[in-house]
Amino acid sequence: MVRIGAIAVGAAALLALTSCMQTKHAVGVQQVDSLVGRVERVHLDAELGRERIQDAVAEVRAIVRHEFTGDAMEAYEYFVDAIERSEAQVRALRKHLVPMQETAAEVYEAWTADLESFTSPTLRARSEERRNLAGERYAAVLLALQPALEGLDAYNRILRDHALFLSYDLNASAVGELEPELELLRENAEVLDQRIDTLLRAASEFVRATAPLGQVHLTGESVDRR
């Protein structure tokens, strides 16, 4: 009777330990999934940020090149609305920065601490290597995000300048003077595109290499999954 009771107690303890380990491991998967989700949102909002810029540029081009139908005041209002949507999109992108950093800190601090729990030196070394690779991919996202935000802000300020210029001078002669500015908008757009492309590539690579099985939704080329 005593022996059976001891076995029962041991089994219960083992079950509790196993349950604790499963919960701990599940938390790790959930943390990584949360970080992947935040990077996916950065990817999405960066794409939308570029689209909103393009919308605003299309509106000012329509005014300068007389491609709109209707009155000039209405076309100007469309332009200002497009700038406001672009600025709002940049704010949405910027809101991801701090939560992404906080989630990343949780993931990599927990991962580092859990390396000590391995009994297999081989798996410990492999997990540490993969942690370092994942950290490098995340760092690339973080490094690319700030220049993209700065570029979007700068471009929106240029568009605001165009809106201010037209606000007091919405006539044929003034509009004609903006024609050379369209080339500058195009050149600045090329620089901005490079920054956003860098961010999108970094985010895509991180997600594709880090996301739990079956949860990759981004498009693009395959990446090294080491």
Q: 25: pLDDT confidence band, cut at 50, 70 and 90? A: low
pLDDT at 175: 86
Window from 67-76, 86-95, 167-176 with minimum mean pLDDT = 67-76
What DSSP state is assigned to residue 54?
A: H
What residues have CB less than 8 Å from 83, skipping those under 6 apart?
Answer: 56, 156, 159, 160, 163
Asked if the structure places residue 19 within a domain, the reply is no
Residue 6 resides in a domain: no
Within a domain: residue 16? no
pLDDT digits 0-9 by tens, 120-156: 999 999 999 999 999 999 999 999 999 999 999 999 9
Domain region containing 48: 34-210
CB 43 within 8 A of CB 207: yes
Residue 158 pLDDT > 50, yes or no? yes
Question: Please, are residues 212 and 35 in contact by the beta-carbon 8 Å criterion?
Answer: no
* Residue 177 counted as domain residue: yes
Per the structure, the count of domains in the chain is 1
Residue 85 Cα distances to 50, 58, 68, 75, 82, angstroms: 11, 13, 20, 15, 5
Distance CA(37)–CA(150), nearest Å, equals: 23
